[in-house]
Amino acid sequence: MKPKFKGKHFITLQEWENSQIDTLLDVSKTLKEKFLNNEITNYLENKTAFLMFFEQSTRTRNSMEAGIAQLGGHGNFLDTSTMQISHGEKAKDTAIILSSYGHAIACRNCFWGIGNQFLRDMAQHATVPVMNLQCDLYHPMQALADLMTIQEVKKTTKNLKVSIIWAYATSHKKPISVPLSQSLLFPRYAMDVTLAHPKGYELPKWVIKQAKDNALKNGGSFRVTNNQEEAYKDADVVIPKNWGSWVSNQSKDVLDDTLESNRHWKCTQKLMALANDTVAYMHALPADRGNEVEDMVIDGQHSIVYQEAENRLHTAKAVMAMTIGNK
């Protein structure tokens, strides 16, 4: 496997050309096939990646740890609460030191107004690739796996009607990074994308502009609505997921009047009936069952959430294999 992207940071897919993303997807598919056939893929033998987490994780942590092990390397899990970062060490110092110890730094930092800048600061000083495992603005690992899954299930993305829909949840105030990354990526693959949310849950204006520009350049479309029924109607793919009101309200409080007034924004069988007969239901997980979605939907015939989650492993491996590479 040629390390043609060796050293390239993976902070947002906006900084990767379509042809480069296509290569990542091709490598992901190859690695998935090899994994299913129990083939050895020691492309990163004796390589080390440092996996820094400011928040909890299931899919991201395990796809990275298992992924680098399956590539012949080792992932060091770092709980940042036990690092000197918790005592004020700067991103620059952490990045320089960890770069001298291994071959990649991956980080999840979703704190609003802090996470992406922290990653940028590390990338500025690191001498190894820095990978975004989710920040306050972007989740490129999830978006890449989502695109792979859509391609597997729908075969073509051209003029595919995909709806990214806000849904009610109470577990915690979630980042906007998943819908933001999907909004920017999907129009680049000629999808007709609808972003639906109640008032108060807008994405930044610059995101909407970039999404529309991406659609215009690549034969897709992008629109915003405050009507969830409109988003479900005739959709080929629906992605109902909660995100926080960070753009208009920076409070960390989970429950407020705006949230509670939109309890009806929930993925139900009745709403799914408005979509195409072959509609696919997706969710990055974990889903807030009973709030975001009915069990009959997420466990039903249209759900592809487990295939989507499985692909997190293979896309993570592709990103690591191509950016870390072998000397």
Dump pLDDT digits (tens) for 64-80.
Answer: 999 999 999 999 999 99
Residue pair 44/72 in contact (Cβ under 8 Å)? The answer is: yes
Residues paired with 79 in a beta bridge: 53
Q: Phi/psi of residue 12, each to 5°?
A: -150, 145
Closest by CA position to 319, among listed 145, 77, 75: 145
The tens digit of pLDDT for each residue in 39-55 reads 999 999 999 999 999 99
List C-alpha distances in Å: 135 to 65, 106, 108, 176, 269: 19, 11, 6, 9, 32
For residue 307, give the H/E element and its range: helix 305-324
Whether residue 108 is found in the same domain as residue 175: no
Q: Which residue type sits at 170?
A: T
User: Which residues have a Cβ under 8 Å from the Cβ of 87 and sit 6 or more positions away?
Assistant: none
Whether residue 222 is found in the same domain as residue 153: yes
Compute the mean pLDDT over every residue in the chain, rounded to the nearest whole number: 97
Residue 232, CA atoms < 13 Å, CB-side half-sphere: 19
Whether residue 301 is found in the same domain as residue 158: yes
Distance CA 148, CA 31 (A): 13
Q: CB atoms < 10 A from the CB of 58, how many?
A: 11
Whether residue 145 is found in the same domain as residue 135: no
Whether residue 230 is found in the same domain as residue 197: yes
Distance CA 281, CA 14 (A): 25
pLDDT for res 326: 54
pLDDT for res 187: 98
Distance CA 160, CA 154 (A): 8
Closest by CA position to 49, among listed 72, 27, 81, 33: 72
Structurally, how many domains does the chain consist of?
2
Closest by CA position to 65, among listed 43, 50, 44: 50
Residue pair 157/199 in contact (Cβ under 8 Å)? The answer is: no
For residue 121, give the H/E element and its range: helix 115-125
pTM of the model: 0.97
**pLDDT < 50 positions in the chain:** 1-3, 327
Among the residues of 173-304, which ranges form H helices? 177-185, 205-218, 228-232, 257-260, 269-272, 295-298
Give the range of the structural domain holding residue 40, as residue numbers without chain letter: 13-139+311-324
In a domain, 8, yes or no: no
pLDDT for res 236: 98
Residue pair 226/197 in contact (Cβ under 8 Å)? The answer is: yes
User: Which residues have a Cβ under 8 Å from the Cβ of 224 and sit 6 or more positions away?
Assistant: 194, 195, 196, 197, 208
Whether residue 299 is found in the same domain as residue 320: no
The distance of Cα 302 from the centroid of its chain, to the nearest Å, equals 21
- CATH of residue 263's domain is 3.40.50.1370
Residue pair 179/137 in contact (Cβ under 8 Å)? The answer is: no
Whether residue 278 is found in the same domain as residue 146: yes
In a domain, 1, yes or no: no
Whether residue 150 is found in the same domain as residue 85: no
pLDDT for res 4: 72
In a domain, 212, yes or no: yes
pLDDT for res 327: 42
Whether residue 22 is found in the same domain as residue 165: no
Q: Which residue type sits at 58?
A: T
Q: Which tokens sit at 171? A: 């577990």
For the beta sheet containing 74-79, the strands, ordered from the edge strand earlier in sequence to the opposite edge, are 74-79, 48-53, 104-109, 130-135
Whether residue 272 is found in the same domain as residue 212: yes
Q: What percent of the chain has pLDDT over 70?
A: 98
pLDDT for res 23: 96
pLDDT for res 325: 82
